[in-house]
Amino acid sequence: MATPNTPAAPLVLAILDGVGLAPPSDDNSVWLAHAPFLHSVLRDDFVEGQHAVRTELRAHGTAVGLPSDADMGNSEVGHNILGAGRIFDQGAKQVEQSMLEGTMWGGAWQHVVARGLAGKRIHFIGLLSDGNVHSHIKHLQIMLERAATDGAAHLVVHVLLDGRDVRDGTGDQYVHQLEAFCADLGARTGVTPIIASGGGRMGVTMDRYEADWAVVERGYQAHCLGDARPFMSATEAISTFRAEDPDVSDQFLPPFTVVHADGSPVGAMQDGDAVVLFNFRGDRMIEIYRALTETPFDAFERGPLPANLLVTGLALYDGDLKIPAEFLVPPTRVTNTVSEVIATAGLHQAAIAETQKYGHVTYFWNGNQSDKFNAPLEDYVEIQSDRVPFEQRPWMKSAETADELIQRIRAGKYHFIRANFAAGDMVGHTGSVQAATIAVEGLDISLRRVFEEVRRAGGTLIVTADHGNCEVMVERNSKGEVQYLADGTPVPKKSHTLSPVPFVVLDFTGRTITVNAIERAGLANVAATLLQFLGLPVPDAYAAPAMTVSG
């Protein structure tokens, strides 16, 4: 067995969130950036004199447990699979299987329907798109149909517009699709669901990791109280906002409430109502759940809640916090993750990220649990993200993340340190090639600093990513042709991609590292590789290591 990494010569994993592999182009911010060090890591046999061992990994579709290879990867799924060391069914696939088998319509769903049978409203809150990252419109439609068939008469939908996991500017199309479905459902069953409120996902409701509770407050006021800018329909709201600001992205549309002719809201929450949060991914649903359930509650001035409100989630969002208390689809239980194996072996480890990705290197990496496996052996470091639009500060906290990494390396305490650099993904979502290019340049400087510290310690640096994003910044059709707006400019791409991601090892221990011949290698092959470097046995359930270390 090869000599393992030690606290004096640690194993360091740098996850460049959203940095995928694609050929250089006019919209590939990875290659447009002045990033000589990162470019060397991605392409050269030697990086500043050190031999680089390199392969590519699949980070989307069936390689990460999604229903098909047309499904883009995302940060939650990516970190789940990185930490678990094996492929397991993810959110959308779990939901579809539960619907197909009928297990979804059991206890929690019956509690929801009981409210409807008692004449109360059933509210559905979630992201309205088919991006299949947080939600899927077909899941909402199936639930509305089932609720109407089960006898619930008052169905209310609160829509959050996407523009991030799907093409921007399509929010009205999804609203039209939902309106047509609701009209058809009404004609068939006599129950016509209504759209009562909404807004863009990045400014209304879908905050995460307590980065900005004002986002949740705006959603609470619109959905629960019916207190937002009034319109006669969601379509009118979207068209008005776009007329006022032609450049506004779907994800930043302001909050709105749909009202009757007399100005009263059509779907404010009332005593005894039920609420279904129809996102299957949990990170951006936890805070609105808390706002609708917690007593006492001090994140913002909420006022009294409607009495006896039943709030249910499509999935279990946080098993340790028991959020939500009731959920429709039981989670996949992931045990024996790589961090659990490391902790059980008595080795020290640290996880570092700024707020936007903190849960990814902790909760998601650990198999969907917040608690540490062995608290004295694990340190979690959160760097507070700035509360400004990402394109206005595209370097984000790359430098501070590197600072924390370097501090942990110098401490000589940790066998394994993992860190997420968020900028490639979060700035990539803005659709701004210029901003994403600056983000990559910030990554380049920070990664070089980490490399130099690992070299000084004689350790090992692994560079990878969880999915692609900033390497493809304009929309293309199925033939690969760039799509253009009416003014002749390319349509910005603000979603993740189907690109492979890098897996590069820079080892200063003197060991021999070889790439294993694995057909369609993916993120699941990373965990076994980490355990090999640490000299720990690989669990039988794990996928094969992407690389072998010897000597």
- Render pLDDT for 309-320 as a digit per residue (tens, 0 to 9): 999 999 988 755
CB 233: neighbour CB atoms within 10 A?
16
Per-residue pLDDT band at 485 (split at 50, 70, 90): confident
Mean pLDDT of 438-454: 98
pLDDT at 226: 97
pLDDT at 1: 64
Candidates 75, 249, 495, 499; catalytic one: 75
Mean pLDDT of 523-530: 98
pLDDT at 2: 82
pTM to 2 decimal places: 0.78
User: Is residue 431 scored above 70 in pLDDT?
Assistant: yes
User: Is residue 179 scored above 90 in pLDDT?
Assistant: yes
Question: Where are the domains positioned within the chain?
Answer: 11-90+333-550, 92-329
Per-residue pLDDT band at 92 (split at 50, 70, 90): confident
Per-residue pLDDT band at 59 (split at 50, 70, 90): very high
pLDDT at 320: 52
Cβ-proximal residues to 137 (8 Å cutoff; 6+ apart), any chain: 128, 129, 130, 174, 177, 178
User: Is residue 407 scored above 90 in pLDDT?
Assistant: yes
Per-residue pLDDT band at 168 (split at 50, 70, 90): very high
The question of whether 75 is a catalytic residue gets the answer: yes
Phi, psi of 201 (to 5 degrees): -60, -30
Superfamily holding 92-329: BPG-independent phosphoglycerate mutase, domain B (3.40.1450.10)
Spatial separation of the C-alpha atoms in residues 73 and 75, rounded to whole Å: 7
pLDDT at 211: 83
pLDDT at 76: 85
Task: Name 313's bridge partners.
Answer: 277, 327
By mean pLDDT, which of 85-89, 318-322, 472-476 is the weakest? Answer: 318-322
pLDDT at 81: 97
Strands (E), 369-509: 378-383, 416-421, 460-464, 501-507
Please write the tens of the pLDDT for every residue from 319-367.
556 789 999 997 777 999 999 999 999 999 999 999 999 999 998 899 9
Spatial separation of the C-alpha atoms in residues 268 and 254, rounded to whole Å: 18
User: Is residue 387 scored above 80 in pLDDT?
Assistant: yes
Phi, psi of 125 (to 5 degrees): -120, 130
pLDDT at 477: 86
By mean pLDDT, which of 63-72, 162-171, 520-529, 534-543 is the weakest? Answer: 63-72
User: Is residue 209 scored above 80 in pLDDT?
Assistant: no
Give Cα 487 to chain centroid, integer Å: 32
Mean pLDDT of 91-107: 90
The fold of 11-90+333-550 is Alkaline Phosphatase, subunit A (3.40.720)
The DSSP symbol for 148 reads H
pLDDT at 163: 94
